[in-house]
Amino acid sequence: MTSSQLLLDEMDQQDGGNRVHGLLPDGYAQDPSEWWSDYIRAQGGLPPLSKGARLRILDLFSSVGGLALGVSTGARLLGHRAVIEGAVDTDIDALRVHQFNLKTKRIIHESVLDIVDVSIGKDRSTGTLKLQDPVMLPLGSGFQDISLLIGGPPCQGHSTLNNRTRSDDPKNKLMLAMPAVAVALDINAVVIENVPNVVNDHGNVVERTIELFHSHGYHVESGVVSARNLGWPQTRKRFFIVARRDKAPFPLNQAVDALHMPPKDLSWIIKDLIDRVSEGDLMHSTPTLSKENEDRVAWLFKNKQYDLENHMRPKCHQNGHTYPSVYGRMKWNDPAPTITGGFQTPGRGRFIHPKKKRVLTPHEAARIQGFPDWFDFAGPSGDALKRAMLGKWIGDAVPSIMGAAAAVSALA
């Protein structure tokens, strides 16, 4: 087997079915973490397109492209020539970062609900939900031969639907737009990601979305993927729906098995950044802490603690609270907690560096979120880049290894 070939096992004798055992190039089979280490520290951008069939991807609710990055990585490991044909989001700065880094062919600065007509009725013979002749609206026209649709609809709706389903809850329409676009553009495979508790949505948005896929001939795989099960040094979990029309998706748990590595801790991913702090460089600096927070951080280090004692917390927390990780210090030899948009603030989670009296830098947080070093958040924004922008873009992202696993499920 040459170094350009994939390590694929055609048959799993134990479960009696076809199964992918490994996807990394020859030379990394003994320790997959070496490949992911090289991936995360790479300086040169995505690798050249493979010689396989072109895979055209459309990214909805795209932000800066964290999911698209991971999906493209997984697709390329499978031998596809992954190309991002379009990205749709309401954040124009995020779209520019997406295009700058992923060579996205077309960006659309609109709500997803402005590019597709979402009309839902019921099948007369079965009583199941069904899309009623979904079509792309003028803003979403022009996409052809899309092979894979991806997106992470926000949990809370932020736009009203200017079509025949405006009586529904707006946040439901956002996810329901995914099967609508898939059917309207005749897309074979779809990946949707969201927070795990989306399954508890009072509007049954997950059940409705899956029902719509089934009504239009898609096979569906869904479930929660844990970054820890992939060996990634973060406790993050995400819920995925994978739909495919021509055949059943590859099982998510087997996709995770194909890409997992020995469990890694925080030190593995940020140890070489510990002293890379530079004032004036947003990616490599941290906000100035208040005097109160400086004292809290100093107390943790002086007392060799990772959780703040009650008397050091704000008075509003001292009579009882349910957030022990707030103002917490991370542990060098444990996985990172879930990175959120508040990682630059001690009062919003366990984001104090385990070795230094500061919070994480955006570069460190980006590493934990699976953004390789070549990914440039500042390039298209220049002086307009703000800490709040970095916090949201990085904190909302899906670690690339998780997106890669979802791609394997959708494409293998």
Active site positions, annotated: 155
SS3 string, the chain, reads: CCCCCECCCCCECCCCECCCCCCCECCCCCCHHHHHHHHHCCCCCCCCCCCCCEEEEEEECCCCCHHHHHHHHHHHHCCCEEEEEEEEECCHHHHHHHHHHHCCCCEEECCHHHCECCCEEECCCCCCEEECCCCECHHHCCCCCCCEEEECCCCCCCCCCCCCCCCCCHHHHHHHHHHHHHHHCCCCEEEEEECHHHHHCCCCHHHHHHHHHHHCCCEEEEEEEEHHHHCCCECCEEEEEEEECCCCCCCHHHHHHHHCCCCCCHHHHHHHHCCCCCCCCHHHCCCCCCHHHHHHHHHHHHCCCCCCCHHHCCHHHCCCCCCCCCCCECCCCCCECCCCCCCCCHHHCCCECCCCCCECCHHHHHHHCCCCCCCCCCCCCHHHCCHHHHHHHHHCCCCHHHHHHHHHHHHC
